[in-house]
A and B are shown apart, each in its own frame.
Chain A
Amino acid sequence: MARVERGRGWRALLLALALGAGVPGMLEAEPLATPAAESLTVLSWGGAYERAQRRALFAPFSEASGLAVTVERYNGGLAALRRAVQAGSVPWDVIDMTRSEAMAACQEGLLEPLPEDLAAPAPDGTPAGRDFLEGAFGACSLTHSVFATVVAYRTDAFPGRRPTEIADLFDQRRFPGPRALQRTPSVNLEWALLAYDVPREELYRLLSTRRGLSLALARLASLENLRWWEAGNTPVEWLVDGEVTMASGYNGRFFDAMVNRDAPIAILWDGQVQEHEVWAIPRHAAHPEAARRFIRFATATERQAALTRHIPYGPSRHSATERITTHADSGVDMRLHIPTHPLNARGAVTKDEGWYAQTHARIGELFRGALLAEEPLPDAP
């Protein structure tokens, strides 16, 4: 394994030298580093999220290291990674993934293990182990932020009332209109069962029973005018265009539409499903050393705080959470838009990624069988 990588690194270095694209800054910073790269390829999620990452992470990293950062986009899922690793040629150096997919990928051996001392200590010297959220350190991944899948609604769709709890998503009598949900079992199953007033703490225990699953699927099947989305920006567009009245989506994207585009939408925080978003390095990555440098750079307190000035994702470090200020462009107080803020987190569910990592395939099959019978099979994650 290691030998293969080193070979790749040398080849990249030779290539870089042959092209005359020497990188003085990087060589200064790490005079002994053997593998060098002229650029780093990051696989991320596109949209407003990518724009924020470019400003808070990628550009400053290029400046500090002299490495150009190339960004490629995906909508999650492991199929492409699996194919690339099998083919032995992986076009990405760093992947921005959900923790659940990182756990599954790590088990399948699709990711590089990360060194334990990868993360930098906090500015005040607090060791990273105590500064990060619980569960941030995985065998192959490091949590950089917490995002939430939430329900957003058009503020002009329900005159005189506003949805206040997640059960309202399924109440099309009081809150009429088409809905848009992500074409995955996760989050949807949680919300469907929450709508029966079960406690958050018991969600995954109950979803582990045949009865719980069939109750949840029945509640989802009862929705009329339901559209499924896959790309993170789709529900935002549908909501902004008025094609649906309520839609699930990532809180950062909705924030972007609300603040930057002044769209008449609002977020229903109840039932928000929080997930860890992690950095991971794929197996056979071309520049693993640069990838590790990038992860250490991007998870530093200062960079995490900087990211919250562009997109409202909760930092994974306590020291960064304390530094949350305002939105860089609009001046909005970002603390009110961060999912982990106490005001918003009251009805939050933390996604049980261990559960999904083990049940992914079976739950997905059940979900497709029950709800997507007439549609073609989606790209298996």
Chain B
Amino acid sequence: MGMPDAGRVEGRGARGVLRFLGLVALGGVIGGLAALAAVGFVAAVVWLNDLLLISPRGRMMFAHPEWLALATVLVPSLGGLIVGQLHRAIPEGRPHTPTDAIAAVQTRRGRLPSRAGSLSALSGLVSLGAGASVGQYGPLVHMGASLGSAGARLLRLGRSDDNITIACGVAAAIATAFNAPLAGIVFAHEVVLRHYALRAFAPVAAAALVGHVIAAQVLERGALFHVVDPAIPRPWEFAAFLAIGGLGALVAGGYMHAILGVGRLASRLPLAAPLRPALAGALLGVTALWVPDILGMGQETLRFATIAGAFGSVELATVMGLKLAATALCLGMGFGGGVFSPALVIGTLFGALCGTLVGMAGGAQDTFVFYAICGMVAVTAPVIGAPLTSLLIVFELTGSYALTTAALASVTLASPIAAQLFGRSLFDIQLTSRGLDLSSGRSRAVLEDARLAELLSDEGVTLAPELSINAAIHALGQAGHGEAYLVDGAGRYRGSLTLADLAVMQEDGRGEATLAECPTTPRPVLGPEASIWSAMRRLQEVTGEAIAIVDEQDRFLGVVFEASIARAFLRYSDELRREEHGTG
């Protein structure tokens, strides 16, 4: 373990420039791969939806109502069955999501597993193809991240570069899927990297750019929100947009907690985990017989929600509630897929509801689309924890400055309120429940993720309880340590002894007594899987040179010296500092 050298700067000069340019080029390559994967994924979902009678177009072109009804129930159920079987092959028994990519980057662990990544992408594809009410951007983002990480692994790059390539894949996925390169770059920074470094920016930008170029070449689609010269909202309407932001934060909280709540309930169901998605699919299909709007990603519903008068207010509230429930059901019961697309639909329906109510109260209807977009941003930004990305998506997809400023008013209240009440994003809430708290920033996350086992040393002096005090003092003196650890014949840890304690006993003339009779100094012990963060907390309570590490059976494994914890802390901080503030 080398000493951290705060003054050393790696890679300056011509070699550094070349290395950095190589990283940018790698970003472009990963961006291209992630973009092609995203294009293929989206096309496959569209094809499956048409084929399996999920998309309105596919349903409309199919002329047999009774078979259509049967398919509506059977397709999501069977899709759920397949998804359940796929998840059995993933170690965690659940699909990997952007949450896993965020955790890998925030803890500098990197190295996203390829097998679980591909299985998760397949699970997302089947889920979306079979009409589950889930999003497509989650699988796309995770697929991009996995590709990026695989690239870094292939080229044997370090963890910092692994993080950057993950961010490249993510940025390209978003840039391609939305055809919004700026949103892709900001999303990678805001949600995944969570810091801004020039070293990361250039490769990420290259990836997003390549993704954008590919999207513009390959995908011939209408903008997600196509708005023709909207009217300019009146000044008082900005107050309404702010209010929509506040209320939207509550809708977002309800949405996130519904997903988590169904997940908790599902774990208590007397139904094996691989069968749960099938049950969710069957329930979804039956409901969709009456309200087909809840099937799939709901792009048509999203579009209609931006049209004044397309829904009545009761209808808006009903479809919004059902879509929220359907998404919570699908994701909570284990379908693979993202949370973003349904949040777009729910948010737009919510905004449309607000717009309709304002209209009923005498407001004008020519600014209806503003309400819909404000609602959309107010719900999505808190869910993914990305206010800037949400704004940029609105800007890049509508090209309307007026709409973007209205969305800004809404997100101004939505994001902080939701962050205070619920957490920074659904990803962060999920990670906290998995034991990774990102609320105190990355340095804590890194230390929480680092295990004491890697600092374990066998240089600590272990003594048998039968040994005499005189012999113990001699042994300690020989080893040059001030502390020793009492380990019995079965290898169990029995306590810590300091040289000072032993010396007092010797002074008292009890040098021939055994160590078992000597009072031990109370010291905390930790397991090898404890984090460096928790060790640092413990060190505040005690003075001593090391912490004993024991396994679950109390067997002594070794010690971790205080000095090595301090060195590790400095090393991690230095790596973070270099990653986050380095220019190349």
Whether A associates with B in a native complex is yes
Given A359-B60, A359-B61, does the pair A202, B227 have CB atoms closer than 8 Å?
Answer: no
Per the bound structure, the CA–CA distance linking A205 and B224 in Å amounts to 13
A197, B227: Cβ atoms closer than 8 Å:
yes
Query: Using a CB-CB cutoff of 8 Å, which residues 386-403 of chain B contact chain A?
Result: none
B222, A206: Cβ atoms closer than 8 Å:
no
Stretch at the interface among A2-10, A122-130, A208-216, A281-289: A208-216
The proximity string for A residues 241-255 relative to B, scoring 1 for CB distances below 8 Å and 0 otherwise, is: 000000000000000
Expressed in whole angstroms, the minimum distance between the Cβ of A349 and any Cβ of chain B is 12
Q: Which residues of B contact A (CB under 8 A)?
A: 55-57, 59-63, 220-223, 226-228, 292, 299-300, 303-304, 307, 309-311
A362, B63: Cβ atoms closer than 8 Å:
yes
A199, B226: Cβ atoms closer than 8 Å:
yes
Please name 12 further chain A to chain B contacts, defined as beta carbons within 8 Å, in addition to the given A202-B226, A212-B56, A215-B309, sorted by A numbering. A198-B226, A198-B307, A204-B57, A205-B55, A205-B57, A205-B300, A208-B56, A209-B60, A211-B310, A211-B311, A355-B60, A358-B63
Expressed in whole angstroms, the minimum distance between the Cβ of B425 and any Cβ of chain A is 30
A selection of 10 A-B contacts at a CB cut-off of 8 Å is A199-B226, A201-B222, A202-B300, A205-B299, A208-B57, A211-B310, A212-B56, A215-B304, A361-B63, A362-B63
Query: Using a CB-CB cutoff of 8 Å, which residues 170-215 of chain A contact chain B?
Result: 196-202, 204-212, 215
Partner of A358, one of B61, B220, B221: B61
Expressed in whole angstroms, the minimum distance between the Cβ of B146 and any Cβ of chain A is 31
A206, B304: Cβ atoms closer than 8 Å:
yes
A198, B57: Cβ atoms closer than 8 Å:
no
Per the bound structure, the CA–CA distance linking A355 and B50 in Å amounts to 12
Expressed in whole angstroms, the minimum distance between the Cβ of A89 and any Cβ of chain B is 30
A202, B222: Cβ atoms closer than 8 Å:
yes
- Taking CB atoms, residues of chain A closer than 8 Å to B292 are 209-210
- Taking CB atoms, residues of chain A closer than 8 Å to B62 are 358
Query: Using a CB-CB cutoff of 8 Å, which residues 274-317 of chain A contact chain B?
Result: none
Closest to B220 in A: A201
Partner of A198, one of B221, B303, B309: B303
- Taking CB atoms, residues of chain A closer than 8 Å to B227 are 197
- Taking CB atoms, residues of chain A closer than 8 Å to B300 are 202, 205-206, 208-209, 211-212
B303, A202: Cβ atoms closer than 8 Å:
yes
A215, B222: Cβ atoms closer than 8 Å:
no
Expressed in whole angstroms, the minimum distance between the Cβ of B187 and any Cβ of chain A is 24
- Taking CB atoms, residues of chain B closer than 8 Å to A211 are 300, 304, 310-311
Expressed in whole angstroms, the minimum distance between the Cβ of A248 and any Cβ of chain B is 22
Per the bound structure, the CA–CA distance linking A206 and B306 in Å amounts to 13
Inter-chain residue pair count (beta carbon < 8 A)? 69
Per the bound structure, the CA–CA distance linking A204 and B228 in Å amounts to 19
Expressed in whole angstroms, the minimum distance between the Cβ of B149 and any Cβ of chain A is 35
B307, A215: Cβ atoms closer than 8 Å:
yes
Secondary structure dominating the interface of B = loop
B57, A197: Cβ atoms closer than 8 Å:
no
B223, A208: Cβ atoms closer than 8 Å:
no
Per the bound structure, the CA–CA distance linking A196 and B227 in Å amounts to 10
A208, B307: Cβ atoms closer than 8 Å:
no
Per the bound structure, the CA–CA distance linking A212 and B292 in Å amounts to 13
- Taking CB atoms, residues of chain A closer than 8 Å to B60 are 207-209, 355, 358-359
Instruction: Give the 8 A-B residue pairs with the shortest CB-CB distance, closest first.
Output: A199-B222, A201-B222, A208-B60, A208-B56, A358-B61, A199-B226, A208-B57, A209-B56
Per the bound structure, the CA–CA distance linking A200 and B303 in Å amounts to 12
Given A212-B304, A355-B61, does the pair A201, B221 have CB atoms closer than 8 Å?
Answer: yes
Expressed in whole angstroms, the minimum distance between the Cβ of B303 and any Cβ of chain A is 6
Expressed in whole angstroms, the minimum distance between the Cβ of B513 and any Cβ of chain A is 88
B59, A208: Cβ atoms closer than 8 Å:
yes
Per the bound structure, the CA–CA distance linking A215 and B303 in Å amounts to 13
Given A201-B220, A212-B300, A358-B61, does the pair A196, B56 have CB atoms closer than 8 Å?
Answer: no
- Taking CB atoms, residues of chain A closer than 8 Å to B310 are 196, 211, 215
Per the bound structure, the CA–CA distance linking A198 and B227 in Å amounts to 8
- Taking CB atoms, residues of chain B closer than 8 Å to A196 are 307, 310
Per the bound structure, the CA–CA distance linking A36 and B109 in Å amounts to 81
Partner of B228, one of A197, A209, A210, A361: A197
- Taking CB atoms, residues of chain B closer than 8 Å to A215 are 304, 307, 309-310
A205, B56: Cβ atoms closer than 8 Å:
yes
- Taking CB atoms, residues of chain A closer than 8 Å to B307 are 196-198, 215
Expressed in whole angstroms, the minimum distance between the Cβ of A115 and any Cβ of chain B is 29
Closest to A363 in B: B60
Closest to A214 in B: B310
Closest to B304 in A: A211
Per the bound structure, the CA–CA distance linking A207 and B304 in Å amounts to 11
Expressed in whole angstroms, the minimum distance between the Cβ of B504 and any Cβ of chain A is 85
- Taking CB atoms, residues of chain B closer than 8 Å to A197 are 226-228, 307
- Taking CB atoms, residues of chain B closer than 8 Å to A204 are 57
Closest to A352 in B: B57
Expressed in whole angstroms, the minimum distance between the Cβ of A363 and any Cβ of chain B is 9
Per the bound structure, the CA–CA distance linking A298 and B226 in Å amounts to 42
- Taking CB atoms, residues of chain A closer than 8 Å to B55 are 205, 208
From B61, B62, B223, B227, residue with most partner A Cβ within 10 Å: B61
- Taking CB atoms, residues of chain B closer than 8 Å to A359 are 60-61, 63
Per the bound structure, the CA–CA distance linking A82 and B232 in Å amounts to 55
From B57, B221, B226, residue with most partner A Cβ within 10 Å: B57
Expressed in whole angstroms, the minimum distance between the Cβ of B332 and any Cβ of chain A is 27
- Taking CB atoms, residues of chain B closer than 8 Å to A361 are 63
